[in-house]
Amino acid sequence: MADEAVRVRGLCKRYGAVTALDGVDLGIRRGEVFGILGPNGAGKSTTVEILQGHRNRDAGEVTVLGRDPASGGRRWRSRIGIVWQDESAPAELTVGETVRHFARYYPRSRDPEEVVGLVGLQDKAGSRIKALSGGQRRRLDVALGVIGDPELLLLDEPTTGFDPAARRRFWELIRRLADEGTTIVLTTHYLDEAEALSDRLAVIATGKVVAEGAPAELRERHGGRATVHWSGTGGGARHEETETPTRTVAELMRRFDGEIPGLRISRPTLEDVYLRLTGQLDEQPGEAAR
């Protein structure tokens, strides 16, 4: 427990007759990037809001940076950075004014100009927020989340609206923060983002954690069989699902007496695993990402 930034046991939250979280357990180590995946309504945002101290829980134990978020004071909050799903910056200020203003809230903030550059808004530092595009506003939200040099950074769908270049730049920022020792909790619908950034993942469905582990572990544990693809003697596409793809290829080599036409081996992707765990898989394993 000593090296855990976040510890959650038996977390429950209900909204009237709807159960959003039903006995969630999580342990997030200091310095790791921890991804939370799940379909809309699975409980991801509710979990993050409870970790922030923004929403009360109905049951369970939660410790964040050594404190219960429900009673965390101003000093505790200054150690946490948050990127909300909704925009939080006043529209009439400029980018530079906003970042400098938010920096004053923290006892140990990063340099505002450095942070503006980190999120790729240096050319927009003098622009009013209302003149920014949606993706640029989202980058500003990320800047406000990291300006306090947080020990723990909570990111709720942070790259929504980002173009591909901005997303890659954001990934570089997250890796840099992780290298500096920041603990990062990330919710995202982008499976490539989750796999590229996360040391470990938790998949939530219907308010429960249905799987947890490193991306490679989840693929190995829940991915199912590999699929060997080749072209038949008449030119038609063939495939076979198998637990032993090497043996299948060896048998095909004997059948074709050498090179196997159209040979390709596909293994279940993280997206395949995610869809299977959340009950949404209707593609053949290895095909969901193509």
Per-residue pLDDT of the chain (290 residues; tens, 9 = 90+): 568 999 999 999 999 999 999 999 999 999 999 999 999 889 999 999 999 999 999 999 999 999 999 998 999 999 999 998 776 677 889 999 999 999 999 998 999 999 999 888 999 999 999 999 888 888 899 899 999 999 999 999 888 878 888 888 889 989 989 998 999 999 998 999 999 999 999 999 999 999 999 998 998 888 878 889 999 877 788 898 888 889 999 988 888 887 898 899 888 889 889 998 998 765 444 443 33
Residues 157, 83: Cα–Cα separation, whole Å: 8
Predicted confidence at residue 44, as pLDDT, reads 92
Please check whether residue 230 is in contact with residue 209, taking contact to mean a CB–CB distance below 8 angstroms: no
- Helix, strand, coil share of the chain (percent; to 5): 35, 25, 40
Residue matched to tokens 């196997």: 260
Sequence ranges of the domains in the chain = 4-214, 225-267
Q: Say which residues have a Cβ less than 8 Å from residue 263's Cβ, sequence separation at least 6.
A: 228, 229, 230, 249, 252
Nearest by Cα to 105 from 124, 88, 118, 91: 88
Q: Say which residues have a Cβ less than 8 Å from residue 110's Cβ, sequence separation at least 6.
A: 103, 146, 147, 148, 149
Query: Max CA-CA distance within the chain?
Result: 73
Q: In what order do the strands lie in the sheet with 264-266?
A: 237-242, 226-231, 264-266
Predicted confidence at residue 287, as pLDDT, reads 41
Predicted confidence at residue 284, as pLDDT, reads 45
Two tokens, residue 255:
């059948």
Question: The CATH number of 4-214 is which of 3.30.479.20, 3.40.80.10, 1.10.760.10, 3.40.50.300?
Answer: 3.40.50.300
Beta strands in the chain (DSSP E): 4-15, 18-29, 33-37, 59-64, 80-83, 152-156, 183-187, 200-205, 208-213, 226-231, 237-242, 264-266
Please check whether residue 116 is in contact with residue 95, taking contact to mean a CB–CB distance below 8 angstroms: yes
